[in-house]
Amino acid sequence: MNIGFNKPYLTGKELHYIAEAHARGQLAGDGHFTKLCSSWLEQQTGCHKALLTHSCTAALEMAAILANIQLGDEVIMPSYTFVSTANAFVLRGGVPVFVDIRPDTFNIDENLIEDAISPKTKAIVPVHYAGVACEMDAIMDIASRHNLLVIEDAAQGVLASYKGRALGSIGHLGCYSFHETKNIISGEGGALLVNDMALLERAEIVREKGTNRSQFFRGQVDKYSWVDIGSSYLPGEIVAAFLWAQMQEAESITARRLAIWHHYHGAFKALEQAGRVHRPVIPVGCDHNAHMYSLVLHNLADRTAFINAMERQDINCVFHYVPLHSSPQGVVCGWVTGELSVTTDLAERIVRLPLWLGLENDLESVIGKMKNYLSKVFD
Ligand SMILES: *Cc1c(COP(=O)(O)O)cnc(C)c1O
């Protein structure tokens, strides 16, 4: 029995809705299912407007355009994140300024942000790692004192919250992902949450190839034309139809993921007390969504040995990220503030365990093999 790291979940209604999208006669974007998905996101998050995109990468690229990033403008973000967090701004000529992460949540260390601000700083991009919120009160306070935009990379944060507020709905803009490795999926997919009303009109234009097509369809202008820069950031109805099936089950998907997460968490408690692993830390006020379960081992050699030992027992565990500041492209286009020692250290020690719906049946046996290895190997 091979236990993969991830397995995309199907609710069973996806193909039915895709057929319905075709029967309705619209496969291009912004039809029936796109509207259902956007309203669901607006209700769930309380954002002013949700715009579906074809990925979180696309939502981040839109955010970079809306933030008016110009050549040499600086954007503060963690180095411990996915490439798109930085790439979106680099594409506009921006400079990612990498800041270290907190040793507990692996989120950007809010206490280091002010040291990274310069007259060229335009935005802060907090990444809610594993659906556990960044310290948003502190970050929003810094941003308002320095007049900076906050763009939340909430790719992993669907149905997670900070002090009762949905991730992605707190900054000026928020970006979600529905990639097949996330909790709620459409293969590739994403959304831009617009919280600052002043950015909405331009967001719609940028998403529609720089045209005012959305206003035209609402009857607000009598013809539509090219009015700004933009690209094609909207997904077709096939993707939205698939996503709608997932959204309808989003609460139960999250609940089932949380059950698996807590199962892991309880199982590794004794090993943590024995000093063999570190388990995830969830601060008070953060309701996470069980996007990920990870352990932190002692060093790179231990992690490699663990992953190999699990692979031999047909359990696929993985690690990430190669820190952006030390990646070939990051070295060329990014700047570093401080030592980034937590980032560098964590990247060598973290291991992510399988977490997907359907794993429940094999979970006891998976955990048994992991505990068996971890309790023996260091004796
Ligand atoms: C998955 C992810 C992205 C990219 O999402 P896509 O939808 O694949 O473009 C960006 N940032 C973070 C933190 C992610 O986990």
Q: Is 169 in the pocket of ligand 1 (CB under 6 A)?
A: no
pTM: 0.97
Pick the residue whose CA is nearest to atom 14 on ligand 1: 155
User: Which of 52, 54, 57, 62 best tests ligand 1's pocket when mutated (most atoms within 8 Å of CB)?
Assistant: 57
- Structure confidence at residue 355 (pLDDT): 98
Across the 379 residues of the chain, what is the mean pLDDT of every consecutive 10-residue run? Answer: 95 98 97 98 98 98 98 98 98 98 98 98 98 98 98 98 98 98 98 98 97 92 94 98 98 98 98 97 98 98 98 97 96 94 98 98 97 81
Q: How far is CA 354 from the centre of its chain?
A: 18
- Structure confidence at residue 55 (pLDDT): 98
Strands 286-287 and 149-153: unpaired
- Structure confidence at residue 329 (pLDDT): 96
**Cα 84 to ligand 1 centre (Å):** 7
- Structure confidence at residue 376 (pLDDT): 83
- Structure confidence at residue 377 (pLDDT): 62
Q: Is 190 in the pocket of ligand 1 (CB under 6 A)?
A: yes
Nearest atom in ligand 1 to the alpha carbon of residue 127 is: 13
User: Which of 56, 83, 134 best tests ligand 1's pocket when mutated (most atoms within 8 Å of CB)?
Assistant: 56
Would the CA dihedral through 3, 6, 12, 15 be positive or negative? negative
Nearest by Cα to 31 from 217, 202, 155: 217
Q: Is 127 in the pocket of ligand 1 (CB under 6 A)?
A: yes
